[in-house]
Amino acid sequence: MSALFSLAGKAALITGATRGIGLAIAREYGRAGARLVISSENAEDCARVVNTLTEEGIDVMAVPADLCDAHAVHALAHRALEHLGRLDVLVCNAGVAPHMGPLGSASDADWELTFTVNLRSALWLTAALLPVMAEHGGGSVVLMASIASVRGNKGLGLYGLSKAGLAQLARNLAVEWGPANIRVNAISPGVIHTDFARPLTDNPEVMQRRLALTPLRRVGRPEEVAALALLLAAPGGAFISGQNLIVDGGTTIGDGN
């Protein structure tokens, strides 16, 4: 492996890491040599993924946590540091989309859940962990946004608002923590083959329209997002900070031809 893409000797915490994009990132980070703490709200899923990745030779531990609970998030940060001894990479990948439809039809509970899991939990984790990261010479933060953060959306407006906030959080933290050699970036995937995207990918009519607007004419794969997350964490990405990098097969720049 090229040293540009090596995470040997590095320690990483990844939320939402038991399936889809988060699991793909955990696997690629582990293969690149990082020691991992993974998290999701489901303890059984965490245990299953730890067993799977351990069998693949990856050094991994799980800390289940409900990201709606500030105390649980701070406990996750504490236990990750306790286990790893340091933190070089933080990936905030967990996300929810409880509301579909016009913004005006979203309930207060929808707003609270969406913004707490998608945005506030990332703020809680970075506030807890970036000072420690700075003490050890710096590191990298990857915040998982969405192409819903860069354009209007009839069905996922509330989700898009939270993800736009996450992209802005990346820019703000990049400015605040850059002098401490901490890089912060967001990734905005398009439609990726995951359970999260199944309401779209399982609907042939919706997919026909979407793919017609996507120059590459296909849906993405989790590992294609994970590869970018690896670059952002590795030495090869050491001069990239404050960006919202789009991985969508060209959907957001397509003209439908």
User: How do residues 81-121 score in pLDDT, each as one tens digit?
Assistant: 999 999 999 999 999 999 999 999 999 999 999 999 999 99
The SS3 assignment for 182 reads strand
The model's pTM: 0.95
* pLDDT confidence of residue 207: 76
Examine the residue annotation and report whether 29 is marked as an active-site residue of this protein.
no
Amino acid of residue 193: H
Residue length, the chain?
257
Span 175-184, pLDDT tens digits: 999 999 999 9
pLDDT range class, residue 194, cuts 50, 70, 90: confident
Q: Which position among 5, 29, 159, 196 bears the catalytic label?
A: 159
Query: What share of the chain in percent tops pLDDT 90?
Result: 84
At 51, list the tokens. Answer: 């067993």
Give alpha helix (H) positions in 85-201.
108-115, 121-135, 157-177, 198-201
- Residue 91's DSSP bridge partners are 14, 142
Closest CA to 92 of 152, 148, 161, 173: 173
**Which of these ranges, 33-37, 175-179, 186-190, 201-205, has the smallest mean pLDDT?**
201-205
List, in order, residues 6 or more apart from 154 with CB less than 8 Å away.
101, 102
